[in-house]
Amino acid sequence: MGGYFLAFGLKVPRIEADNDTLLAAGFALLAAFSFGSSTVFSKKILYKYSFFTATFYRYGFTAVLMLVVVAANGNIGALTETSSTQWIYFLIIAFTTGSGAIYLYYFGLRRVKAMVATICELFFPISAVLFDYIFNDYQLSMVQWLSAVVMIFAIVQLNRQNDRRKKEA
């Protein structure tokens, strides 16, 4: 709920604008579900395999899944429209910040519960809003500020509970 009010405040998103808006909202929900479930599945993989192996499976499974989606939508020919410069950018991102970040993520996920990791991922929208404020001078409403505070409070409380459970064990 905090994430919703952080993004929209008291405004209701305009879904009736066009079909693309509804489709985008559906894809956003699917992406959120996929990311959350991949965190849980990745945690299971990390019990048995290294975080390097978990990263390989995540990239590999995602690549195969997206190839099926692209082919099912009849867009497989679009791959040939990608310029060599775009492929170079893609590879630079994949082998620098992309891979580096995911390796760090899995390294940390080995030491943190999946539930806590998923909740901590809420810092992403908070940081996006903060950067929007700093770089684009976008002013938040009072509801959005309150939502950010609620989200940070929830994240802190979850981490405190996790620390207490570790001490009890």
Percent of the chain with pLDDT over 90: 4
Output the pTM of the full model: 0.51
Give long-range contacts, CB 8 A cutoff, 24+ apart: 152-160.
152/126, 154/2, 154/119, 154/122, 155/119, 155/120, 155/122, 155/123, 158/115, 158/116, 158/119, 158/120, 159/116, 159/120
The domain ranges of the chain are 2-168
Per-residue pLDDT, averaged over 86-90, amounts to: 90
Per-residue pLDDT, averaged over 69-73, amounts to: 87
Question: Is pLDDT of 43 > 70?
Answer: yes
Question: Is pLDDT of 132 > 70?
Answer: yes
Give pLDDT, residue 61. 82
